């Protein structure tokens, strides 16, 4: 998977000039606030319309971006976890098993309950359901933008182990600030500011600062 973008017309954007990641890698992306980490992920996922450049994804590959605060449509819990797939894509047994696997067994029997789940659940619970959603969708490329940041470190580690176990062929990109994430990644990239843009550089997987 390669990407290039010269986005000097879009503030806080980055200018990657090398291969971003290769299939099957788990890449930890770091850098100071405002360097464009989240924007890079949005561009790769096709959700950033500003600037110019090229993002190349293998033909037929699926890309899923999971932000720090996942979106849940108003409706049943089953539909909320299934999103963006259509309701009914996964059986209740599949959904209940995955909700339990991410550490929310008390919600497994509430699949038919309708609610504003973004209001009902804590951010940590929402992040757990976001991971459940990602495993169910099984994308080729999964971009985690501080998607487990509201969890304590042991819980975050459990979810990363679950992702690696359930999605062995998925390329995972993570934005995070905890050094404990290093153990779950095979490669590091760091965004550094250079004037009006940022550049992606290879980075050793060591203590994360920013």
Per-residue model confidence as pLDDT tens digits over 167-202: 999 999 999 888 889 999 999 988 887 777 777 878
SS3 call for 64? strand
Long-range contacts: 41-45, Cβ < 8 Å, 24+?
A: 41/65, 41/143, 41/145, 41/173, 41/175, 43/3, 43/5, 43/13, 44/1, 44/3, 44/20, 44/141, 44/143, 44/173, 45/143
Q: Is 73 left (phi over 0), alpha (psi -120 to 50) or beta?
A: beta
Q: Look up the pTM and report it.
A: 0.84
pLDDT at 198: 76
pLDDT at 93: 97
Report how far residue 174's alpha carbon sits from residue 55's, in angstroms, rounded to the nearest whole number.
18
DSSP string, 172-195: EEEE---GGGGGG-SEEEEEEEET
pLDDT at 20: 60
Q: Cβ contacts of residue 31 below 8 Å, gap of 6+?
A: 37, 190, 191, 192, 198, 210
Residues above pLDDT 70, as percent of the chain: 88
Are 38 and 175 spatial neighbours (Cβ–Cβ below 8 Å)? yes
> Packing angle between helix 123-137 and helix 92-101, nearest 10 degrees?
130
The residues of the chain scoring below 50 in pLDDT are 1-18, 208-210
Report how far residue 98's alpha carbon sits from residue 159's, in angstroms, rounded to the nearest whole number.
12
Q: Cβ contacts of residue 160 below 8 Å, gap of 6+?
A: 148, 181, 184
Q: What is the tens place of the pLDDT at every residue in 77-100?
A: 999 999 999 999 999 999 999 999
pLDDT at 10: 38
pLDDT at 173: 93
pLDDT at 31: 80
Are 87 and 79 spatial neighbours (Cβ–Cβ below 8 Å)? yes
Q: Cβ contacts of residue 39 below 8 Å, gap of 6+?
A: 7, 10, 12, 13, 14, 48
Lookup result for tokens 């590959």: 61
Question: Which burial class, exposed, middle or buried, applies to 72 when counting CB atoms under 10 A from its CB (0-12, 13-18, 19+)?
Answer: buried
pLDDT at 206: 66
């Amino acid at each position: 998977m390669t990407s290039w973008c010269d986005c000097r017309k879009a503030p806080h954007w980055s200018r990657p000039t090398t291969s971003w990641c290769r299939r099957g890698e788990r890449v930890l992306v770091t850098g100071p606030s405002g360097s464009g980490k989240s924007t890079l992920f949005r561009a790769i996922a096709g959700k950033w319309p500003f600037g110019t450049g090229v993002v190349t994804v293998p033909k037929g590959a699926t890309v899923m971006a999971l932000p720090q605060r996942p979106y849940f449509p108003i409706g049943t819990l089953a539909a909320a976890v299934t999103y963006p797939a259509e309701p009914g894509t996964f059986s209740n047994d599949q959904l209940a098993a995955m909700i339990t696997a991410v550490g929310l067994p008390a919600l497994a029997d509430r699949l038919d309950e309708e609610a504003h789940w973004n209001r009902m659940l804590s951010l940590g619970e929402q992040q757990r359901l976001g991971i459940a959603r990602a495993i169910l969708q099984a994308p080729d490329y999964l971009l985690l933008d501080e998607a487990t940041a509201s969890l304590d470190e042991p819980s975050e580690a459990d979810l990363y182990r679950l992702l690696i176990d359930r999605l062995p062929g998925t390329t995972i990109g993570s934005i995070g600030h905890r050094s404990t994430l290093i153990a779950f990644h095979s490669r590091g990239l760091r965004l550094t500011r250079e004037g009006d843009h940022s550049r992606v550089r290879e980075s050793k997987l060591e203590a994360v600062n920013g």
